Amino acid sequence: MHARHNPEHTSIKTHVRRPVLWTAILSTLLISITIYSLLTGSRLARKYAPLQNAAMEIKLEATLAHLWFEEIMSGDRYADISTVWKHVELSAWYARAMLEGGKNSEGTYTPLRDQALRHEIEEVQIKIGAYREIIEKRWAAQADSGIGSASDQQFDVVFEDLFSQADGVETALQTAMAKNLRQFHILQGFLIVLSLVFFAIMAIAIRYYTRQHVLGLSAIQENEKWLRLSTETAGVGIWEFDVLNNKMTRSQNHDQLYGLEPQEIWTVDSFLNAVHPDDRDFSAGLIEESIAAGGPERHHFDYRTIWPDKSIHWLSLTGKITERNSEGNATQMRGCLLDVTERKSAEKNLKASEERFRLICENSPVLIDSFDENGKCVLWNKHCEETFGWTLEEINAHPDSLELFYPDPVVRAEVTKTVTSDPDGHFKEWHPVTKDGRELTIIWANFRLPSGLIFSLGHDITQRKQEQAQLQLMSKALENSLNAFVIVSSDGEITYANHSYVKLWGYDCVEEIVGTSADGHCQDPALPEKIISILQTTGKFEGEITATKKDGSPFEVLMYACAAHDNEGQLIFPTTFIDITERKQLEEENKKSRAILQKAEELSHQGAWEWDILSDQWILSKNFLQIHGCSGSSISRDELMELAHPDDAQRIERSFQDALAGKAAYRLEHRIIRQNDKEVRVLHVLGEVIRDETGLPVRMRGVAQDITALKQAQQDVLKERNRLQFALEVSHMGAWDLDLVDLSSHRAPGHDHIFGYDNPLPEWTYEMFLEHVVPEDRADIDRQFQEALAHQSDWNFECRIRRPDGQLRWIRSVGRHGTPVDGTVRIMGGIVLDITERKQAEIELTHAHDLLEERVEERTAELEVRKNEAETLNRAMINVLGDLKQTNLELETAERSLLSTNKELEAFSYSVSHDLRAPLRHIDGFVGLLLKREKQLDATSARYLDTIAHASGRMGRLIDDLLAFSRTNRSKMRTERVDLNNVVQHTINDLSSLTEGRQITWKIGDLPLVQADGGLIRQVWENLIGNAVKYTGNREHARIEIGTTHEGSDAADELVFFIQDNGAGFDPQYIDKLFGVFQRLHREDEFEGTGIGLATVGRIIHRHGGRVWAEGAVDQGATFYFTLTAAQGAE
């Protein structure tokens, strides 16, 4: 394309245009001035000439008027005055025309503008006026005014005046005209000079610019030449695109860039055709975009072109919009074109090279990273990412990426320093942390690239460090191991020995050993060689050997050796020794322990057992076999099971299976029948199952203990406990235990009943007890309690209590401290008894005693009733006392709490026995004294006193009876075969004192042999037969039948005995009281009795395991039944 204009051309053009403009302006000016001067000249001519004319006309007309008037005056008759007027008028008309403009045949008159002149002319008009007046005046006075008259003279003067005035105007006009002409001439002269000057300048200017123009063109041409040269040299083509005409003007080399000869025409299509087909679309698009309104002002893109020789070249096009139309569309663009094939090729090579480098960096097992001067990470290879866990993005996302690796600010500062100051490229060890918090050991080297990038290379040596440390640790451990350790070379020389080895072998230092032969370290010098040969073939050796110390003394060691290779590939034998001297000793001691254990088993009646399930082998301790009464040294499981009691066998087996299945522990009590003496023994067996890792049972082991004696003792205790319970129940006593620590308590059922509660309370404390005590007694009772605590003495008191229903009762209680176990008494045990009746009796007794002398008669009977009641109670206590005493003795081996309770009961009974005797003695004593003193008593008084003495005696007997009763209860049962026929007969004989004088029909059946305690059963018959005799006392014909019956028999060997009488009988309503202690169904005055007999019967029969019952009705007699077990073999 050819550049027709360039900035310089524009300048030149501008320079040429300017003088032309100037020239035009000046020419116009000149012409204007010229025209103006011509016009001015013409105006002067047109204006001043008629005015001068007019001035002359005024004079002329005035003169004519003068002449004519003079004529007329002079008498010319022909002359008309009107002519005079006409001339005057004309003169006035001219004056007016001069002022106001006007036209007539003479010319056109323009009004005067000069004020001075106009004023002159107005003077003229006035003078014309005056002229006309004077004419008229003269005219009017024609006759008077002849020539030479005064009016004629005045006429002349006015005329003269007018004339001179008009003349003055004419002169002034002439002057003004002359003046204007002069000015006109001056102006014209100036114009002429001006034109001359102008033309001179024009000539100079035109000449100058013409010259410049020529110079400019040559410069442009020169420029164009240089431009072409430079663009051609640089391979830059230049173009201009006329969008509207789709025409491109190009520099010469432009087309060559497409490999073409210079073309005639070049359009967009030509361009697109030249573009490589693959680049065509985007090129066309870019051009379109540039042209469109709002498109970019500049565009630049690279594309390929295919030369006619098929070679492909890269072109780079740069364009700029130079013109846009009013719609904003480009109408002209210009630009240049450059062949960039070589650059592209270089870029490609560079890219490939970069890619290779990147691949190396990425995949190198070396840590490679690079940071730019702003601390931004630009390279972070895969190995880095794998090692540290951070990705490039994560690092760059962090404000101070180093912090990720070096959380410690001090270390971080150090790192920053080595990186930023002057990276020296030396490897240095660092300990960065990874994303997951591990600390690594890395050696890093930093380099500064010429571009300013910091380039770092690193290597992770963490594992190597750890391995080194571990190796050192192991070596240290080996060195300090308690086990002796040596390394022996293949020729039997010791190359290494640790501290323990030196010590074990009795040497002083390693140097003594290393380098010597191992032969000297064993009892058998040939042994090392033998072991080496084994190691060479099998690689391993393990065994006990006898080693030799430095001083030659032998000792036992366990040795483990193996074959290995050292760094140089030499065969070596690392060997460990364990000193087993102590172990040997332990084994010996273990043997002794076993013997002791066996002894212990024997003493505790225990035997150990173990069952190897897999081999079904039973290992039984000697004592185990003894417990089972086995004489042999072992026994099979089947044999063992045969020894189990048949009733327990199934239970044992079940428990055993449950234990194996892991359902329950193996722990049970069962009976066995001993093998040797067939005795039944009770065993307590424990066992545990030993399982392997999978939970399969592999072994079972445990112990068996013979607890027969213990069981027996337990049963005895239980029996005694029941007995005690019974004693408490029948005596309506309440037993209690008080915990001295928290003052809580345990009570037997009767206890709460005494305090007025039908059902046992959930809880009972000392405070609750105190609340029941009436307020008057409370402080005293508490003081006694505190004293008892302080002195550890018995707490023995009587007091009044208030039951919940408001009833006031007397109670008596005795408490005693439990036997201290560890030096501290923690429990107080005791009993409580309702003594209201006794107390009342006592009170009244005392009262009665005071009044005895004066009112003994009426009081005696009542006293006796009261006394009997007291007696009854007291006897009950004595009974209990007996029981408790016995129980205490029997329960000595029983549980401590029970023992404690018994002791308290004993204490109580002691107190009762002491106190009971005193009042009895007093009654009897004072009656005795009274009898001695009153010699003259009347018969009745004497009888009364006798009765009192008798009663006290009876009470003494009652005490004795009760003691006897309780003794029978306590005594050991000795069962034997008893012939009841003998017993009954003897009893009847013994009662002869009672039956004497009475008519009694005895009917006695044949009685069988029974299994019973002879003494006790004799007492049964004594009581029953005695009762029968007693209660038939008021029958004239007593009939007593004794025999056996089958009614009510429960078992085959149970025999039912009966005794029937026709006596007083009893009310069946009270049948349940019949066998109770102190229960009587008849008054004392009817039948004497203590109320103990049937209770004794009942208890004896119960002790024999039998039952007792009765049938009867008032006055219908009574039948008593009881059962006993038939004697074995008796029939």
Partner 1 sequence: MDAKRILLVDDDTSDVELALASLDEHNLANEVAVARDGAEALDYLYRRGSFADRPEGNPVVVFLDLKMPKVDGHEVLAQIKNDPVLKTIPVVVLTSSREEQDLIKSYSQHANAYVVKPVAFESFVEIVKQLGLFWVLTNEPMPKS
Question: Of 625, 731, 615, 732, which Cα lies nearest the Cα of 676?
Answer: 625
Question: 964-989 in b/e burial notation, b at 16+ Cβ within 10 A?
Answer: ebbebbbeeeeeeebebeebbeebbe
Considering beta carbons, is residue 430 or 797 the nearer one to partner 1? 797
Q: State how far the Cα of 900 lies from the Cα of 882, in Å rounded to an integer.
A: 16
Q: CB 850 → partner 1: shortest distance, Å? A: 12
Segments in 977-1091 forming alpha helices (H): 980-990, 992-995, 1014-1031
Using the rule CB under 8 A, which residue among 184, 560, 726, 910 binds partner 1?
Answer: 910
CB of 1019 to partner 1, least distance (A): 23
Least Cβ distance, residue 909 to partner 1 (angstroms):
9
**From 222, 403, 915, 1067, residue interacting with partner 1 (rule: CB under 8 A):** 915
Closest separation in Å from C-beta 962 to partner 1? 14
Among 54, 98, 487, 920, binds partner 1 (CB under 8 A): 920
CB of 913 to partner 1, least distance (A): 6
Residue 576: both structure tokens together? 């460990």
Query: Is 922 a residue that touches partner 1 (CB under 8 A)?
Result: yes
- Which of 683/959 has CB closer to partner 1? 959
Rule CB under 8 A: which of 941-970 touch partner 1?
949, 952-953, 955-956
Stretch that binds partner 1, among 87-95, 522-530, 613-621, 907-915 (CB under 8 A): 907-915
Q: Contact region for partner 1 (CB under 8 A) — 413-421, 476-484, 615-623, 920-928?
A: 920-928
* Kind of pairing between the strands at 454-460 and 367-371: antiparallel
Looking at residue 1030, its amino acid is: K
Task: Give every CB contact of residue 140 below 8 A, 6+ residues apart in sequence.
Answer: none
Helices (H), 891-1013: 896-933, 939-970, 980-990, 992-995
Residue 457 · residue 367 · CB < 8 Å: yes
Longest dimension (CA), the chain: 253
Shortest approach of partner 1 to residue 738 CB, angstroms?
A: 23
Taking the complex as a whole, the smallest distance from the CB of residue 959 to partner 1 amounts, in Å, to: 8
Select 955 or 1077, whichever has its Cβ closest to partner 1: 955
Question: Tokens 């030993």 label which residue?
Answer: 690
Q: Which of 113, 678, 791, 914 binds partner 1 (CB under 8 A)?
A: 914
Task: Break the chain down into helix, strand, coil percent, rounded to 5.
Answer: 55, 20, 25
Of 359, 918, 1113, 1114, which lies in the binding site for partner 1, with binding defined by CB under 8 A? 918
Q: Taking the complex as a whole, how short is the minimal distance between the CB of residue 619 and partner 1, in angstroms?
A: 55
Shortest CA distance to 1042 belongs to which of 1031, 1032, 1056? 1056
Q: Which of 928, 1015, 1048, 1105 binds partner 1 (CB under 8 A)?
A: 928
Q: Is 229 exposed, middle or buried (0-12, 13-18, 19+ CB in 10 A)?
A: exposed
The stretch among 173-181, 511-519, 910-918, 988-996 that binds partner 1 (CB under 8 A) is 910-918
Closer residue to partner 1 in complex, CB, 256/913: 913
CB of 216 or CB of 818, closer to partner 1: 818
CA geometry: angle 427, 429, 434, nearest 5 deg: 120
Question: Least distance (Å) from partner 1 to the CB of residue 784?
Answer: 11
Q: Which stretch binds partner 1 (CB under 8 A): 335-343, 472-480, 678-686, 926-934?
A: 926-934
Quick one: which segment of 122-130, 491-499, 505-513, 909-917 binds partner 1 (CB under 8 A)?
A: 909-917
Residue 831 in tokens: 């009993």
Contact yes or no for 100/111 (Cβ under 8 A): yes
Count Cβ neighbours within 10 Å for each residue of 302-328 and write b for 16 or more, e otherwise. ebbbbeeeeeebbbbbebbbeebeeee
Amino acid at 674: R
Q: Which of residues 491-550 bind partner 1 (CB under 8 A)?
A: none
Among 396, 420, 911, 995, contact with partner 1 (rule: CB under 8 A): 911
Taking the complex as a whole, how short is the minimal distance between the CB of residue 924 and partner 1, in angstroms? 4
| Phi–psi pair at 1012, nearest 5 degrees | -160, 170
Binder among 262, 285, 749, 925 for partner 1 (CB under 8 A): 925
146 binds partner 1 (CB under 8 A): no
Tokens of 344: 């592209």
Task: Name residues whose C-beta falls within 8 Å of residue 897's C-beta, 6 or more positions apart in sequence.
Answer: 737, 818, 827, 829
Binding piece for partner 1, criterion CB under 8 A, among 434-442, 658-666, 863-871, 914-922: 914-922
How far apart are the C-alpha atoms of 171 and 125, rounded to whole Å?
17
Q: Which residues contact 500 (CB under 8 A, 6 or more apart)?
A: 480, 481, 482, 483, 484, 485
For the bound state, the minimum distance from the C-beta of residue 969 to partner 1, rounded and expressed in Å, comes to 18
Site for partner 1 (CB under 8 A): how many residues?
A: 22
777 binds partner 1 (CB under 8 A): no
Which two tokens mark 68? Answer: 């004519």
Site membership for partner 1, residue 927 (CB under 8 A):
yes
Shortest approach of partner 1 to residue 949 CB, angstroms?
A: 8
Judged by CB under 8 A, the stretch of 271-279, 370-378, 915-923, 965-973 that binds partner 1 is 915-923
501 phi/psi in degrees, rounded to 5: -65, -45
Per-residue tokens: 448: 């500064």
Q: Is 917 one of the binding residues for partner 1 (CB under 8 A)?
A: yes
Range in contact with partner 1 (rule: CB under 8 A) among 81-89, 429-437, 552-560, 924-932: 924-932
Task: In angstroms, give the least distance from the CB of 925 to partner 1.
Answer: 4
* CB of 787 closer than 8 Å to CB of 813: no
Q: Single out the residue of 746, 743, 754 nearest to residue 802, CA to CA.
A: 754
* Between 550 and 970, CB nearer to partner 1: 970
- The count of residues in the chain is 1131
Question: Is the Cβ of residue 238 or residue 880 nearer to partner 1 in the bound state?
Answer: 880
- Residues 6 or more apart whose CB falls under 8 angstroms from that of 768 comprise 761
How far apart CA 614 and CA 597 sit, in angstroms, is 26
Task: Specify the residue, 678 or 932, whose C-beta has the smaller distance to partner 1.
Answer: 932
User: In terms of Cα–Cα distance, which of 365, 411, 400 is closest to 385?
Assistant: 365
In this chain, which of 240, 579, 924, 1013 binds partner 1, going by CB under 8 A?
Answer: 924
Which residue number, 845 or 1110, has a Cβ lying nearer to partner 1?
A: 845
Of 106 and 915, the one with the shorter C-beta distance to partner 1 is 915
Beta strands, E only, 432-567 = 442-448, 454-460, 484-489, 494-497, 540-548, 554-562, 564-565
**Parallel/antiparallel/unpaired status of strands 697-706 and 733-739:** unpaired
Is 626 near partner 1 (CB under 8 A)?
A: no
Of 121-129, 303-311, 923-931, 1110-1118, which segment contacts partner 1 by CB under 8 A? 923-931
**Residue 923 CB, nearest distance to partner 1 (Å)?**
9
Rounded CA separation 903/638 (Å): 51
CB nearer partner 1, residue 296 or residue 925: 925
Q: Out of 31, 471, 713, 929, point to the residue binding partner 1 (CB under 8 A).
A: 929
In the complex, the smallest distance separating the C-beta of residue 768 from partner 1, rounded to whole angstroms, is 28
Closest distance between partner 1 and the C-beta of residue 894, in Å? 20
Is 841 among the residues that bind partner 1 (CB under 8 A)? no
- 921 in contact with partner 1 (CB under 8 A): yes
Q: How far is the CB of 917 from partner 1 (least distance, A)?
A: 4
SS3 342: helix
Q: Which is nearer to partner 1, 177 or 963 (CB)?
A: 963
- Which amino acid type is present at position 543? G
| Positions in the binding site for partner 1 (CB under 8 A) | 910-911, 913-918, 920-922, 924-929, 949, 952-953, 955-956
